[in-house]
A and B are shown apart, each in its own frame.
Chain A
Amino acid sequence: MKFDTVIIGGGLSGLTCGVRLQKQGKRCVIVSAGQSALHFSSGSFDLLNRLADGTEVVSPVEQVSGVDKAHPYVKLGDKFAFYAAEAQKLMADCGVQLQGSADKNHYHFTPMGTMKPSWLTISDFDCYDNVAPFKGKKVILLNISGFLDFNTKFIADALETAGASCMIKSINLPELNKLRVSPTEMRSTNIAKVIDKEEVFNKLVSVIIGFSDGFDVVALPAVFGLASDRLVKALKGMVNIKLMPTMPPSVPGIRVQQQLRREFERLGGCYMLGDTVEKAEIENGKVKKVYTTNHGNIGITADAYVLTTGSFFSNGLVAHSHDIIEPVFGADVDFSEDRADWFDANFFGKQNYLTFGVATDEKFRVKKNGKSLENLYAAGSVLSGFNPIYEGCGAGVAMLTSLFVADNL
C-alpha cells in the first residue's frame, strides 16, 4: 500500500494532522489501535492553564513565552497564536462548534461541578468568566433515573459551596427505563441513542419543563446528540437549560471524534481502526515501510510518517521498571534515570512521568540513537517536555504540534 503520509494514531492529534494534510491534497492513512481519548473528553480543550512554576495563565498568547525551554510550544516559534487560530478553524470546518479564544482563558464546569480554566469549549456547554457563575441562583439538577455517571451529590455540593442553592431530582421515561434491565449499560451513550429519537426527546423536554418552574437554572447531564448536535441546539433554545459534563464515556467528545473522522474520510483519507503498527523498516536514517497486525505481509509505504500514538494510556509510551520505551520505532525517549523522580506519592501532585516522551529535533523529527530520522515526525502527547495535566495544555499540544508538523513535512 502506498500513501503520501502514514499517521500512526487516530486521536485528536492524528485526525488534526490528517485533515490538514488531506486539505493540502496529500493522501493519508491513519492507523489507529482502538478508539481515542476523545471518548473521555470533558468537552473542553486546554491550551495553557498554568506554567511549570505554578503561575496561573490568564492569556495563553501573552504568557506562552513563560513555558520551559523543552516545551513543544517553543518549537512553534512565533506561530503559536497562528496555529491556535488555525486549530479552531479546522474544528469549525469539521462541524465542531467551539467557544473561546487563545487571548483569554474561560472557565467551564467539570463533571464534579467544580470550575476549571480552558481555551475552547464545545457549544453544548457554557463558558464563564468567573468560578461562581450560579452564585445566589436557584438550581435544579435533573438526572435520569439509574444513570450512574452523573454524580449529582458532588455537583450540588460544589455548586452550593460556590453560593448557589440546589435541588436534585430524578427524571424518567418508560423508553429510558428499558435500559435499566442491564444496570451496567445505563451509560451516557446508550441514553443518548434513546433520546436521539425525536418522540423520546420531545417527551423528555416536556418532563424537563415541568420541573423548571421557580428555578433560575436547570442543569442536565450531557447525554444529548451523539450523532449530531441538532438536539443540543434545540435544548439550548429552551428555558434556562445548562448541560453539565458527565463521567466517561463523553457524548460530546465522541461526537467530536466522529466529526473529525468523517471530515478526514470525506476529504479522501483512509482510517484503519483496530490495527497496530508492529514494526518499521528503517534504512539510512529514513523510514521505508511499516507493517501492521492486520495487514501482515502487505506493508505500507509513504514519503512521510507521523507518530501520534499518544502517551501511556494508548501505549504510545510503555513504562518498564527502569526505562520507558516507544514501541513502534524504538525512538529515543526523554525520561529521568532516577525512578524516584517519576512520580509524586501524592496522587494529585505534579506527576513527572507525564512530561516523559519521544525526543525530537526542532522540526519535531523523531530521534533514534541521538540522530533525527529524516521522514518521521511526532506530534501530540507522545512528545516530551510538557505536563498536560499540571500545565493544562494537552489538547493544545495535540492540535498545534500536529498542524505545525503537517505544514512542515
Chain B
Amino acid sequence: MNLQESNISENNFEQCIKCTVCTVYCPVVPVNPKYPGPKQAGPDGERLRLKRGTFFDEALKYCLNCKRCEVACPSNVKIGDIIQLARIKYSKKKPSLRDTILANTDVVGTMSSAFAPIVNTTLSLKPVKLLMDSVLKVDHRRSFPKYSGEKFVTWFKKNAAARQDAFKHHVSFFHGCYINYNYPQLGKDVVSVMNALGYGVHMLEKEKCCGVALVSNGLIDQARSQAKLNVASIRKSVNEEKRPVIAASSTCTFTMRDEYPHLLGVDNADVRDQIEIVTRFVYRLIEEGKVKLKFRDGGKLRVAYHTPCHMEKLGWAYYSTALLRMIPNIDFVMLPSQCCGIGGTYGFKKENYETSQGIGASLFAAIEEAKVDYVATDCETCKWQIEMSTTTKVEHPISILARCLDLEATSKLNC
C-alpha cells in the first residue's frame, strides 16, 4: 500500500503554510461563527478528508464561494476551490426543494416570465412571503427580483437580430438568466453600445444558465451538463464563426472561465481567453485605438463602483472603473472592495439572512455615506442586495455608459 496515496490532493493545499491570512479576509467568519473558516474548511480539513471522507463537515455550506480567501492568500492556494470540491465530493445532503428551485434560475425564470405581472405581485405579498419563509425557508425579509414580461431573447429576435449581420465585426453575447428573465434593459444596453462601436451582437447557438447556482446548491450533474452545452456553443462561436464571447455578469464570466475546469472538470482551455466581460472587451478596443467614443453633454452624475467578489477574483474591476472614469460628467467614487453578503442564492436562504445582511452592513453604510446617484456594479445579485439594503439605485457600468454616450455620433465614428 502506498502511504502517500491518501496524501495527494488535486489541489495545492500542501502549499498552505498556515499563515491564517485567509481567515482575516473571510466575510463569513466574523458574522457566523458556525462556519469553520477558510483555513480549517479548506487546506486543514482537506488533509483530514483525504484520509477519510467522514471528516467532511456539512458546515462548509456556509462558505459563500466569494474567493476572497484566494485573493488574499500569499501562497496561491486555491482555498475556495478546495472547499467547493469537498462539498461536491463528500456532502451527503441532498438539495432540498427550496435549493432546487433557487438553483434552477432558467426553468423558474421561463415560467415566471410568462406570468410576470402575477408572479411579481404575488411574490411581494406579505402572506406569500411568510408562507415561503415557513414552508420553503426562503427568508420573508428578502425582496425578489422582478420578472420581466418579455424575455430579452424574445425582444432581441423581434427588434435587433435582423440588423446584426450588417456590422463589420461580430461578438456572441452570453446574456445569462438575469438579463433574459429579469432585466432585459441591460441586454439592450449591451447591444446598443456594441452596435455603436461597430460590433454586431449575436446569440449563442444554445445557452443555458452558467450553472453557478447549481454548483452552490449541490446539483452538480446538472451543472456539468449545462457547462458542456455552453462550452460547445462557445466553441462553435469562437472557432467556426470567429466570434469572441462577451457577458455582462461577472459571476457568469468567472464561472465559465474558471469554475468549469476547476470544479466541474469541463475543459475550456481552447476558448477560455475568448470569454470576456463586456467592460474588458470595450476597454481593450479603446486602448488599442480601434474604437472612439463620443459622449453626450449632460448634467453631473455621481457614481460609486462596488467590486463584486468574482470581479475581485478575476482582477477585472480595473476595466469597469476605467470605463466609468472615461465619462466626462461622472464624479467617480471607489467603494472599498468587500462582499455585499448576497452570494447568489446564499442570502435568500432563511438560515443565512442574518449572516448575509451582517456581511454587507459596512458596505451599505459606506454607500449611504457616499451620497451618489448610482452604484455601478457588474453583478446582478449584488444589485438586488444593495437596492434592497440601501436607498441607492444600482446599474451595470455598461448601462451607465449607454446612457452617457451619444450613440449616434459614436456609431458614425466607428461604423
Q: Which residues of A contact B (CB under 8 A)?
A: 1, 33-37, 39-40, 178-182, 184-185, 187, 189-190, 193-194, 248-249, 254, 265, 270, 272-276, 292-298, 313-315
Q: Is the pair A249, B33 in contact by a Cβ cutoff of 8 Å?
A: no
Which residues of B29-88 are within 8 A (CB) of A?
29-30, 33-37, 39-40, 44, 70-76
Closest residue of chain A to B362 (Cβ to Cβ) is A227
Indicate if the CB atoms of B273 and A297 lie closer than 8 Å: yes
**Ordered nearest first, which 6 A-B pairs have the shortest CB separation?**
A294-B315, A274-B71, A34-B74, A181-B33, A184-B40, A193-B30
Q: Which residues of A contact B313 (CB under 8 A)?
A: 274
Q: Which of A182, A194, A249, A298 contacts B35 (CB 8 A)?
A: A182
**A179-B33, A275-B315 known; A34 and B73 CB under 8 Å?**
yes
Measured between beta carbons, the chain B residues less than 8 angstroms from A294 are 314-316
Residues of B within 8 A of A273 (CB): 71-72, 312, 315
The smallest beta-carbon distance between B250 and chain A, in angstroms, is 13
Report B-chain residues with C-beta under 8 Å of the C-beta of A248.
Answer: 19-20
Inter-chain contact total with CB atoms closer than 8 Å: 100
- On chain A, the residues within 8 Å of B72 by CB distance are 34-35, 273-274
Taking a contact as CB atoms under 8 Å apart, the answer to whether B71 and A189 are in contact is no
Which of A1, A35, A276, A315 interacts with B25 by CB under 8 Å?
A: A35
Q: Determine whether B365 belongs to the interface, using a CB cutoff of 8 Å to chain A.
A: no
* 10 pairs of residues in contact across A and B, judged by CB atoms under 8 Å: A1-B318, A34-B72, A34-B75, A36-B74, A39-B21, A184-B37, A296-B273, A298-B283, A315-B75, A315-B76
> Which residues of B are in contact with A by a Cβ distance under 8 Å?
17, 19-21, 23-25, 29-30, 33-37, 39-40, 44, 70-76, 273, 280, 283-284, 287, 312-316, 318, 334
In Å, the complex CA distance between A292 and B316 comes to 12
| One of A33, A37, A39 near B76 (C-beta < 8 A) | A33
> Which chain B residues border A270 with CB–CB below 8 Å?
318
Q: What chain A residues lie within 8 Å of B35 (beta carbons)?
A: 182, 185
Residue with the highest number of chain A CB atoms closer than 10 Å, among B24, B25, B72, B318: B24
Q: How far is the CA of A265 from the CA of B337 in the complex (A)?
A: 12
Chain A hits for B287, CB < 8 A: 1, 298
Tell me, in angstroms, the Cα distance from A193 to B37 when the chains sit together: 15
What is the CA–CA distance of A178 and B33 in the complex, to the nearest angstrom?
7
Residue of B nearest to A34 (CB): B74
Q: Are B36 and A184 in contact (CB under 8 A)?
A: yes
A272 touches B21 (CB 8 A): no
Asked if B36 contacts A182 (CB within 8 A), the reply is yes
The interface residues of chain B lying within 8 Å CB-to-CB of A37 are 74
- Known contacts A181-B34, A184-B36, A314-B74; A249 and B315 CB within 8 A of each other: no
Q: Which of B283, B284, B315 has the most CB of A within 10 A?
A: B315
B288 to chain A, nearest CB (A): 9
Asked if B19 and A39 sit within 8 Å, CB to CB, the answer is: yes
Extra contacts besides A273-B312, A275-B315, A313-B17 (4): CB < 8 Å: A35-B25, A39-B19, A274-B315, A292-B315
